[in-house]
Structure 1
Amino acid sequence: MKPEPVLRLEGVIKEYGEEVVTRVLHGIDLTLEQGEFAALIGPSGSGKSTLLNIIGLLDRPTSGRVLLQGQDTRGLDEDSLARLRARTLGFIFQFHHLMPAFTALENVMMPALAERGWPDERMRTRALELLAQVGLKERAGAHPGQLSGGQQQRVAIARALVMSPALVLADEPTGNLDTGTSAQVFELLRHINREQRMTFLIVTHDPRMAQRCDRIIEVVDGRIVSDRREPPHSG
């Protein structure tokens, strides 16, 4: 029996305004299976950010269905949505949003702390393992201000993975980094995807990054205009 897709959107419409209604998304259908590594591309104003917010359960569609691991999110209240989001989704942003008063280790532990309310040894061990994975175990006690931009983004990646999410949403994850560091961060995401079969959806304006993903989903004027698979990449 085939497992449930990690994500399924069915006829998702998003409108804003009451007297003057503006439709931003026009009936989006989209499925992501476990282990996919997909890019979401499109010009500014195409609806990418709105779509990402709906997938991330940060906004609700006007109509249509959003299912995460088979769970229909339509009837969930805000608390239930927040719990599902914490359990199922990891977020990586262009600006890492690390908390400057906390160490790298404490920043990585933050989603688990928010979920459970108190630190425990298992949480700390998991956070240290992730810092080791992203090559920063030796900097666990450093504060964000003591780390380079690329190191801070790697801490943010570790933080996104601490709850072992089924789906990681990465919004321009290398947009604030130089070319060399961007390549390193991309390779890190790719490695995690391959090793852990974790699903990634990466919003990017960088065509080179998009072409190195397995699938490119292009949105224009609130509609998916193309959804194509890329041939396997060796690097």
Structure 2
Amino acid sequence: MADDLVLRLDGVRKRYNVGLPSEIEVLHGLDFELRRGEFAALIGPSGSGKTTLLNLLGQLDSPTEGEIELLGQPTRALDNDTRTRLRGEAIGFVFQFHHLLPAFTALENVMMPRLAREGRPTPALVAEAKELLEAVGLGALADRKPMALSGGQQQRVAIVRALMARPALLLADEPTGNLDTQTADEVFALLRRLHAERGFAVLVVTHDPRLADRCDRVIELVDGRIVSDGPRVRSASPARP
């Protein structure tokens, strides 16, 4: 259904050094859609254009040609203020490194995206943040600062922070890449559970086929072109990250 469409790319190209002898095209006419409830992986070797594409999808950069629609809104020609507002309202980000603010508690870090929009921590906002931390098993650690949390706990806080914006789209860039195997498995299972409960679209950017094997759809990017896009074909005993 059209109202389930979160993201649409139409002929997206990205070039750098446009008009100079060193001009180079990194992305070559990409087309794909992502709908609410989808849990997809974007895979590809180093240099395939994954980071460039992630920056475009996250509204941190604009395509040279083509269009990216976010919740039906064409974004290529947006001014900076409108782009920033749309990004804050529609997209959540989870990175390999959690990027928590060390001077603030877990609870304060979780509330940051909404505080940027709403300006002050209302009782309802505090209650919502505490409820999310409880949901990921960190309710008792809400007043701890990041240095007093384990790596896995910090990444859980980062996931909750991303969800506080109530995003339609969650972009996860190597979300378990900085964790040991067992912690990575737990964090990814948490991400899948929250996705199932809330129904937002997820795109996990990864070079790890084991992680992609746990997603429902895999988009493969090679040399700036999509070479395959479809349901993941799992083995009888899939490896776990």
Band the TM-score falls in, shorter-chain normalisation = over 0.9
Correspondence for 1:9: 9
Query: Partner letter of residue 183 of structure 1?
Result: D
Correspondence for 1:141: 143
In structure 2, distance between residues paired with 1:43 and 1:232: 20
Measured after TM superposition, the shift of residue 117 of structure 1 is 1.7
Q: Judge conservation of contact 1:4–1:70 (CA < 8 Å) in 2.
A: no
In structure 2, distance between residues paired with 1:163 and 1:176: 24
Query: Partner letter of residue 230 of structure 2?
Result: R
Structural RMSD (CA): 1.6
TM-score (norm 1): 0.97
Query: Partner letter of residue 210 of structure 1?
Result: A
Correspondence for 2:215: 213
Which structure 2 residue ranges, 5 or more long, are not aligned? none
Measured after TM superposition, the shift of residue 2 of structure 1 is 3.9
Query: Partner letter of residue 47 of structure 2?
Result: G
Q: Judge conservation of contact 2:40–2:218 (CA < 8 Å) in 1.
A: yes
Measured after TM superposition, the shift of residue 23 of structure 1 is 0.1
1:175 is the counterpart of 2:177: yes
TM-score (norm 2): 0.94
Correspondence for 1:31: 33
Question: In terms of mean alpha carbon deviation, does 105-114 or 72-81 score higher?
Answer: 72-81
Tell me the alpha carbon deviations over residues 173-232 of structure 1, each in whole angstroms, 9 at most, x when there is no partner: 000000000000110010011111111000112211101100010000000011120258
Tell me the alpha carbon deviations over residues 152-182 of structure 1, each in whole angstroms, 9 at most, x when there is no partner: 0000000000011000000000000000000
In structure 2, distance between residues paired with 1:44 and 1:78: 30
Structure 1 outlier segments of 4+, above 2 Å:
230-235
Measured after TM superposition, the shift of residue 125 of structure 1 is 1.1
Correspondence for 1:46: 48
Correspondence for 1:160: 162
In structure 2, distance between residues paired with 1:183 and 1:220: 27
Query: Partner letter of residue 148 of structure 2?
Result: Q
In structure 2, distance between residues paired with 1:16 and 1:75: 18
Q: Judge conservation of contact 1:217–1:224 (CA < 8 Å) in 2.
A: yes
Query: Partner letter of residue 13 of structure 1?
Result: R
1:93 is the counterpart of 2:95: yes
Q: Judge conservation of contact 2:5–2:35 (CA < 8 Å) in 1.
A: yes
Measured after TM superposition, the shift of residue 6 of structure 1 is 0.5
1:77-92 paired onto structure 2 within 5 Å: 77-92=79-94
Tell me the alpha carbon deviations over residues 2-22 of structure 1, each in whole angstroms, 9 at most, x when there is no partner: 424100010000000131210
Task: Please give the secondary structure, in 1, of the residue aligned with 2:13.
Answer: strand
1:89-128 paired onto structure 2 within 5 Å: 89-128=91-130
Query: Partner letter of residue 143 of structure 1?
Result: K
In structure 2, distance between residues paired with 1:194 and 1:88: 18
In structure 2, distance between residues paired with 1:232 and 1:163: 33
Alpha-carbon spacing, 1:132–1:231, altered in 2? closer, same or farther (3 Å): farther
Correspondence for 1:192: 194
In structure 1, distance between residues paired with 2:93 and 2:2: 27
Q: Judge conservation of contact 1:37–1:201 (CA < 8 Å) in 2.
A: yes
Q: Judge conservation of contact 1:38–1:215 (CA < 8 Å) in 2.
A: yes
In structure 2, distance between residues paired with 1:65 and 1:139: 43
